[in-house]
Structure 1
Amino acid sequence: MRNARDKGARGKGIGLGLAAWLAGILFFLPIAWMVLTSFHSEEDAATNPPSLAAPLTLDGYRDFFGTGGGASPWPSLINSTVASLASTLLVLVLALPAAYALSLRPVKKWTDVLFFFLSTKMLPVVAGLLPIYLFAKNTGMLDNIWLLVLLYTSMNLPIAVWMMQSFLAEVPKPVIEAAQIDGARLPTILTRVVAPIALPGIAATSLICFIFSWNELLFARVLTGVVAQTAPVFLTGFITSQGLFLAKVCAASLVISLPVLAAGFAAQDKLVQGLSLGAVK
């Protein structure tokens, strides 16, 4: 009987493993196809069915980086980097004390506070686009990268507070009490006691906020022009009235995705630890 159960459990594990591999391959295939297409010429990329044995070329990447006479992507990439990093840093500065108050030193009706943070995400972004545009126009902040920093901060702050509240709830309270007995004040407790313990959760929150900011398109498309143009907006410039340049778009998409992929790969251990830290045990 026990051998039969072991065989059944082993067979179930093998089946789940195969299903996981199949799902991973299905998710990876579009990315692999995009990488392959980025190294094809426009003529080969537009063939139907597409040719796997087509000759490889770097023309798509030359066009993206402007070596062929096109616009340079570096200002847009720098704008995206500034907006994403600055907004993520500002989110952490604001979310850490808020999450501390909602978890380790809970305020009255803290569940209502969390619900309020969540309710701010229920409004469709496009519904607030017109008043934000009018505000930016009247204050002279159109095509300003710092306006995007403020918008991305407000957009990611509710998510960051929700995530970090669950992470900070796992921090042992006796450690904080010991720091208070030693005379540590709140800023010292947050930076030297809470932050190192909750570092995996903070890293996971930072990565998610960075990805959301880097990928944001609607605000950047409407509120920026040339000076504060971000990388996703620059990417849409490859779709013109002359048609869709598939190879160029694939090359541009791959290059623009590299910072997010690199950040996720570098922080993958912290991301896994952070997501498991806030899990329900």
Structure 2
Amino acid sequence: MSTATPTTPAVSGYVPAPGEAPRPKRLGPILLTTLTWIIGLIFVAPLFFMLLVSFHKNQTATLNTPGLFDPLSMEGYARFFGSTTGQSTWPYIINSLIASVVSTLLVVAISIPTAYALSVRPVKKWTDVMFFFLSTKFLPVAAALVPLFVIANNIGMLNNIWFLVILYTAMNLPIAVWMMRSFLADIPPALFEAASLDGAGLVKTLVRVIMPIATPGIASTSLICFIFSWNELLLAQLLTSSVDAQTLPVFLPSLFDPRNPFLATMSAASIMISLPVLIAGFAAQDKLVQGLSLGAVK
């Protein structure tokens, strides 16, 4: 008759010997996980509160804090989409999508070959080139408002969504080049040498070799550029004056009405404006985590 020796699960890779008492679990990882959840909930709590307020009437949300079991209302969302005010929001949504998506695509299309020239096939004095890209971010945007307004006025591009596309592309390009260069610098040089030996040119190397490997980096760079363009207010407010080119961040302050309650409407508008960024972030979550962690461990 054989007797089976009871086994205990391994803790952190440690397997106790027969007859040896298992080591107690350390409290450090548990406390760290608990603290991380608490900090995460603190940061997310305002978003959940804003979501709760958006599903109540303006009068209720202004006079007291809405409760979970208070009657719900879609008044804020109806006012945001213009069902009760007669002012349609869709032109602003379309303008924001055009400015953000097109500028992000242009930034990615320009930054990949630029980063390739600065990392895989470095040009002479490439450090000076990188410093030049970085130096373009030294000047605050507010300091360039008057020259940009004069230029737009002289070339007839005021109140033009495509002028915003050009500005957003120039605004995000230095950040994208720095990010893409760090991603491409981590790709083993042997892959590029093998592609060169196989007779692959620059375009084929970019499409067949770099794009599949650098997908996480491209995803994270694209998302960051999209967020910056989507949330930009200063340039859009100065250079646009009508619904033909105004974006959602410019439209949002128009919902502020000190004569009437507006808290639920503002909360609904904030949720709807944040929704595309949240959807893009969740859709590219795995690629985003991989891209932001590239180059962290050597």
| TM superposition score normalised by structure 2 | 0.89
The answer to whether structure 1 residue 261 and structure 2 residue 286 are counterparts is no
Give the drift of 1:82. 0.8
Give the drift of 1:280. 4.1
Structure with the larger helix share: 1
* Correspondence for 2:253: 236
Give the drift of 1:241. 4.9
Which SS does the other structure have where 2:272 is aligned? helix
Give the drift of 1:61. 0.7
Amino acid of the residue matched to residue 252 of structure 1? A
Trace 1:1-281 onto structure 2 (pairs within 5 A). Answer: 10-226=26-242, 227-242=244-259, 245-281=262-298
Give the drift of 1:216. 0.6
CA distance in structure 2 between the partners assigned to 1:170 and 1:53 by the alignment: 53
Unpaired segments of 5 or more residues in structure 2? 1-13, 17-22
Amino acid of the residue matched to residue 274 of structure 2? S
Give the drift of 1:10. 2.0
Amino acid of the residue matched to residue 150 of structure 1? I
Is contact 1:164–1:205 with CA below 8 Å preserved after alignment? yes
Amino acid of the residue matched to residue 42 of structure 1? N
CA distance in structure 1 between the partners assigned to 2:227 and 2:37 by the alignment: 25
Amino acid of the residue matched to residue 185 of structure 2? A
| TM superposition score normalised by structure 1 | 0.94
Is contact 2:58–2:261 with CA below 8 Å preserved after alignment? no
- Output one character per residue of 1:111-143: Cα deviation in whole Å (capped at 9) or x when no partner: 222122111111111000110011111111011
CA distance in structure 1 between the partners assigned to 2:258 and 2:40 by the alignment: 36
Amino acid of the residue matched to residue 110 of structure 2? L
CA distance in structure 1 between the partners assigned to 2:66 and 2:72 by the alignment: 13
CA distance in structure 1 between the partners assigned to 2:254 and 2:261 by the alignment: 10
Give the drift of 1:53. 3.9
CA distance in structure 2 between the partners assigned to 1:244 and 1:166 by the alignment: 49
CA distance in structure 2 between the partners assigned to 1:217 and 1:139 by the alignment: 22
CA distance in structure 2 between the partners assigned to 1:221 and 1:29 by the alignment: 30
Amino acid of the residue matched to residue 261 of structure 1? L
Change (3 A) 1:100 1:69: same
Identity of aligned residues (%): 60
CA distance in structure 2 between the partners assigned to 1:49 and 1:171 by the alignment: 53
- Output one character per residue of 1:126-180: Cα deviation in whole Å (capped at 9) or x when no partner: 0001100111111110110100100000110000000000000111211111111
> Once structures 1 and 2 are overlaid, which stretch shifts more, 42-51 or 267-276?
42-51
- Output one character per residue of 1:220-267: Cα deviation in whole Å (capped at 9) or x when no partner: 111112210101111111113535611001001111111110000000
